[in-house]
Structure 1
Amino acid sequence: MSMVDKLSVASLAILLLAGCPPKQPAGSPVDQPVDAGVDQAAGEDGASSPVAEPPEQRVQGLLSEAEEAVQAREPARLQPILEEMQGLARQFPDVAALHYDIGVVYEALNDRLNARKAYLRATDLDPSLAKAWLNLGALAEESGDLERAWRAYEAGRSHAPDDPDLVVGQIGVLRKQGRTEEAIALARQALGQNANNIGAYNNLGLVYLDQGNVDLANFIYQKALNSIEGADSNAYLHCNLGRVYKAMDKEYLAQQEFDRALQLDPELVAAMLFLGDARLDNHDWEGAAELLERARDLEPDNPAILVNLGIAYRGLGRFEEAAALYKRALELDPGNPDPYLNLAVLQGDHMRAYDAALASVDAYLAAGGTRTELAAQWRADLEKSREKYERELERKRRRAEREKQREEEARLAAEHEARQAAIRAAAEAALGQACPAEGCPELTVCNRAGVCAEPGSPGTAGMGDACSSDDDCVAGLGCGADAVCVEQAAPGAAEETEAAPGAAEETEAA
């Protein structure tokens, strides 16, 4: 499939799978499609003049290079390709297909405005170029201008009434506008004209699915698969049938169809989203993240992908990344405030940032969120959770303080025990050793013999301690008459005391 066909189908996917998250709208409005009824290359007599054709081989080569650049996600390679195509367009200004191809490259560069201009130029030159009208309509749908999209498809059908994709585009617009009965009627009319129009089947089934008529939607898809040759190879049919099975609570069958759709088209983002959603429901966070990361690589600015990937990251504990994805989704689609609620869940239930969670709920309401009762209930729950969390924090703080006090007491006790052990060791080492000048260590005393000994052992009784003999007392003390250690008299003191009676005789003689 050429790049031209591939991008045309990619644009058409928006119509076939409306109801799956759409691409992000472009900012510039669509120019009014030109209903050019006269070929500008015609001569004065109305006969068509020959149109010089660019070298087809070179144009196809440029398109192949552009396709490779898009697949490799290297947009810088597209600019020189575009410039060469524009050079060819200046040489061959009246070739509609060349202007169409330029529009395709502009779309690959995300330059919607110039893409529209190129498609409009192509339709000026060849009003029957259906794929140019188709892409104009798809661009209008992306911008949210369904009326302009309808006019583009209608203008295309007026020049290419047998093109099946243009009527599919109109069916999709009617469905998006909620005009389901008109969409059904137009789909049936298209199938009456072409019973093999798979796009009409796709949209008709989706209309019935929108109406809640899942049995009829299932019938439509089964009929298409069973009656149209090659329909089993249509990824969109399988993806939409998967949606029907999902609505019927047949999850296993739904997953089979989504898997089949991805086998047929590995880049079908809608199927990735539905499969990712199923994995999220099953709390298969890793599986969902792997699938949604692939989808994000294909459509990095799709808010639905970012929100679901954020949920997967939340389940994996990658909270900061999840918050960044929610915020990016809000930037891309400010009109949808729902990601604020995802932020509130993340911040409140998982990050315990209750003030931030309450602010997210308030931001949801301020941005026009309509689920006011839910928001009010969440706010009340968050405030209760915050109070409970604060009480829990206070209990933890007190427990921590008590634990810290116990640890400090244990530390002091350990230090005391270490000091006591050191004292005991020093005392044990000093036993039987000569008493040092500074005295024996704690738990020992210098005994009568001048060596360090245990208190209470012979020769260690101090002043006033009980004794039975002088040997019980420390050096310098003796056992007194009261059986307690007292200071011993100096050796000359007894002689002086014994001489005292002679003094009395001298007194009497006098």
Structure 2
Amino acid sequence: MSRAWRSVCLGLLLGAACATPSSTRPTPSPTVQKAQAPDKAPEKAPEKSAPEAPAQAPSQPPSASAAAEAASRSDFEHAVDVAQRGEWDAAERGLEALLKTNPSLDPAWTNLGVIRERRGRLDQAEQAYRKALELKPDQEAAWDYLARLYCRTGRATNIEAELRQKLETRQEAISLRAALAFVLLHQQKLDAAATEAKRALKVDERYVKAMQVLAQVYFLEKKYELARMVLENALAIAPRDAATHNAMGVVQLTLQERYLALSSFKRAVQLRPDFAEARNNYGALLNEAQDYPAAVTELEAAVKSASDFVPARLNLGNAYRGLGQFARAKAEYEQVLKLQPSLADALFNLAILYLDLEPEGLDTLERFKTSIAFFEQYRGLGGKDDRVDQYLKDARKGIDKEERRREREKRAQERKAQKSEETSPPATPPPSSAKLGTDDKK
């Protein structure tokens, strides 16, 4: 019997690909966009279009000649393409080489920071973001990623103070105001976040970044139709923004529009193949539809893009379990617990894995006992799934059934041995060993 496991389809996602406000990860921006044009299509091929946060700001590479500028742009875009394929070493080397010849290329510094953050080198990532802002103080992407990095590392109040100070003398700087709105959202200061988003929209009513933040405020306030309306407006302005499609999918999922949600997540993935959170959401719904091979494809790609992405690893374990691949599912759940030891859902899924699958070489009694142990650990961490009582009964019944089977088998073997003894012919006595007589005997 197959049982339901715990899966993770993420909440509303904005800007750079983020799972939750405390564990956001950036994604390399695919193009160098022209200033003040978040609503325009990028200059590269369509399939590598909108960054998750449609940057207002990266300027075109300064150069001494048109040929040099074209070369810088080509090298930059190649490095980003490589990064989007998950080839972090090659992408980092390419950007570092580019910056040696063109150190004033602010988008390259931002994307170098993105790669370093993805690889866990957070101090170096911050340095790169700040170098980009030193070159272009209003670069939206750099402010967005820097704000998220501070939130991710527990320094939301620090970046909030910095942004407020800068806005005192730059009231019209919507890139700063959008970053502040996100930071306030992260801290659950919903009214303040909405206020800042609306202030940005007063400056530019087509500012998609502010719309995204405002939509998330409405979502958290359970005003789902309002959130949908704002996201629809954002898509009318920037139809190739992957983050907006992903956010729309979460709203649709909440409104029980699963088919539409599946379509929105799929579109987000098409627009940004390295968008780990969109792939996770798409993969989670494919799991629910029991399309496990397709789910594995999406979730393996998500993990490749972000190896520390806990929800994607949890869902990938579920997909492997659906395919009956015990060892792979177990490995993913165990990796989840290494990354987040207090995550009860991983223990729940391990318990289900041991309860349902019968891998070759694993003793049946040991399997059921291990399942029970994981369920008990799950409850010890505060897990409250109502199904656990029934699952524990199933495991104990399994133990009882296996013990009775073994007892029957033992008795059968004993009867067989006894019967074999009773039907065997008596043993033939050995020949006599008496001495033979001799002629000397009288």
TM exceeds 0.5?
Answer: yes
Q: Alignment partner for residue 201 of structure 1, among 206, 211, 216? A: 211
1:174 equivalenced with 2:184 (yes/no) = yes
Q: Extract unaligned runs of 5+ from structure 2.
A: 1-12, 27-61, 359-363, 426-442
Q: Which residue of 2 aligns with 1:325?
A: 332
Q: Which residue of 2 aligns with 1:4?
A: none
Structure 1 counterpart SS, 2:146: helix
- In the alignment, the residues of structure 1 paired with residue 157 and residue 304 of structure 2 have an alpha-carbon distance, to the nearest angstrom, of 31
Q: Is the 8 A contact 1:137 1:149 kept in 2?
A: yes
Aligned residue runs from structure 1 range 291-370, under 5 A: 291-350=298-357, 353-364=367-378, 369-370=381-382
- State the identity as a percent: 25
- In the alignment, the residues of structure 2 paired with residue 217 and residue 266 of structure 1 have an alpha-carbon distance, to the nearest angstrom, of 25
Change (3 A) 1:354 1:260: same
TM-score normalised by length of structure 2: 0.69
Aligned residue runs from structure 1 range 96-245, under 5 A: 103=113, 106-107=116-117, 109-124=119-134, 127-154=137-164, 157=167, 161-225=171-235, 228-229=236-237, 231-245=238-252
Q: Is the 8 A contact 1:205 1:221 kept in 2?
A: yes
Structure 2 counterpart SS, 1:195: coil
1:76 equivalenced with 2:63 (yes/no) = no
Change (3 A) 1:282 1:331: same
- In the alignment, the residues of structure 2 paired with residue 288 and residue 166 of structure 1 have an alpha-carbon distance, to the nearest angstrom, of 38
Q: Is the 8 A contact 1:133 1:152 kept in 2?
A: no
Q: Which has the higher contact order (CA 8 A, sep 6+)?
A: 2
Q: Alignment partner for residue 283 of structure 1, among 282, 290, 302? A: 290
Deviation at 1:392, TM superposition (A): 0.8
- In the alignment, the residues of structure 1 paired with residue 194 and residue 368 of structure 2 have an alpha-carbon distance, to the nearest angstrom, of 49
* 1:32-86 superposed Cα distances (whole Å, 9 cap, x missing partner): xxxxxxxxxxxxxxxxxxxx97865664454345324323433333564465456
Q: Alignment partner for residue 66 of structure 1, among 73, 76, 79? A: 79
Change (3 A) 1:338 1:67: same
1:394 equivalenced with 2:403 (yes/no) = yes
Q: Which residue of 2 aligns with 1:487?
A: none
* 1:151-190 superposed Cα distances (whole Å, 9 cap, x missing partner): 4544565676545443333222222222222222222222
Larger deviation, residues 156-165 vs 304-313: 156-165
Structure 2 counterpart SS, 1:233: coil
Q: Is the 8 A contact 1:205 1:217 kept in 2?
A: yes
- In the alignment, the residues of structure 2 paired with residue 146 and residue 119 of structure 1 have an alpha-carbon distance, to the nearest angstrom, of 16
Larger deviation, residues 303-312 vs 249-258: 249-258
- In the alignment, the residues of structure 2 paired with residue 306 and residue 318 of structure 1 have an alpha-carbon distance, to the nearest angstrom, of 15
Change (3 A) 1:220 1:335: same
Aligned residues: 368
Structure 2 counterpart SS, 1:340: helix
* 1:293-330 superposed Cα distances (whole Å, 9 cap, x missing partner): 22222222200000011111112111221111111112
* 1:351-408 superposed Cα distances (whole Å, 9 cap, x missing partner): 5623323433444456xx333x549x83x55654443223211322244346657877
Structure 2 counterpart SS, 1:69: helix
Change (3 A) 1:22 1:235: farther
Give the number of the structure whose alpha-carbon radius of gyration is greater.
Answer: 1
- In the alignment, the residues of structure 2 paired with residue 319 and residue 189 of structure 1 have an alpha-carbon distance, to the nearest angstrom, of 52
- In the alignment, the residues of structure 2 paired with residue 387 and residue 362 of structure 1 have an alpha-carbon distance, to the nearest angstrom, of 13
Question: What is the Cα-based RMSD across aligned positions, in Å?
Answer: 3.9
Q: Which residue of 1 aligns with 2:57?
A: none
Change (3 A) 1:207 1:285: same
TM-score normalised by length of structure 1: 0.61
Q: Extract unaligned runs of 5+ from structure 1.
A: 1-12, 27-51, 417-510
